Amino acid sequence: MTETIVPAREGRAVKVGRGQRIRITTPKGAQAADFFAYNAESLSEWLSANHTWVTTFCVKPREGDVFISRFRRPMLKFVKDGANGVHDMMIAACDQFRYEHFGFKGPHASCSENLCVAMRRLGHQVDVIPQPINFFTNTHVEADGRFVSPPNPVAPGAFVELEALMDLICVVSSCPFDLKVDGWTINADQGPSELIVTVA
């Protein structure tokens, strides 16, 4: 088993072989984990949240679901949900411009940058930011279509466990979102915290 600490506001890439399981834990709770996955043998094939939810007919990932790539091939199975279904497949990864859009001045850490840096550590250049699966992220689609992120109820120690259905490179980002925006909470009030990733 290998354990990787993803420090608050940072990202890490891990290799997950076919048949292995990756577990992501939020020790302090209420920390959004942006999750990306690539076919280790062909980085042009990546996990696609959008392709996945049109096959599961649900905009939330649920235990037992199979996550597919943009080529509609099975990549991961969602084996165990230890976070009571509080996940999201709708929010694009945050980036510098998202923070500027909210009025933030100057550079801000982001999941997009975390993805790029984590992949470069393994020698790979990423040109496209895929739609992530955002574990431990509380979003809700209202009856009239409005989309909100209410306060995050995910408990300390909550986790998700996924089984790799092909050899993968997976990236987990501790979402650095820390702005005070009405109706858009994302993380815990006290700010971003670390995540733990284990592969076994």
> Length of the chain, please?
200
Query: Is 111 a residue that touches Zn ion (CB under 5 A)?
Result: yes
- What is the size of the binding site for Zn ion (CB under 5 A)? 3
Q: Which is nearer to Zn ion, 80 or 184 (CB)?
A: 184
Q: Is the separation of the CB atoms in 96 and 108 below 8 Å? A: yes
Q: Which two tokens stand for residue 133?
A: 């699966």
- What are the structure tokens assigned to 39, written together? 């076919």
Tell me the closest approach of the beta carbon of residue 12 to Zn ion, in angstroms.
14
Closest by CA to 63, choosing from 138, 130, 159, 131, is: 159
- Which region, judged by CB under 5 A, interacts with Zn ion, from 46-54, 63-71, 139-147, 168-176? 168-176
Pattern 68-107, Zn ion, x by CB under 5 A: --------------------------x-------------
Q: How far apart are the first and last CA of the chain?
A: 4
* Whether the Cβ atoms of residue 197 and residue 4 lie closer than 8 Å to each other: yes
Q: Which of 171, 175, 195, 199 binds Zn ion (CB under 5 A)?
A: 175
Q: Give the residue with the Cβ less far from Zn ion, 111 or 164.
A: 111
Q: 3-62: which residues touch Zn ion (CB under 5 A)?
A: none
Task: Give the shortest CB-57-to-Zn ion separation in angstroms.
Answer: 26
Give CA–CA dist 65/162, Å, rounded.
10
By C-beta, is 111 or 199 nearer to Zn ion? 111
CA distance 96 to 107: 7
Note the residues at the interface with Zn ion (CB under 5 A). 94, 111, 175
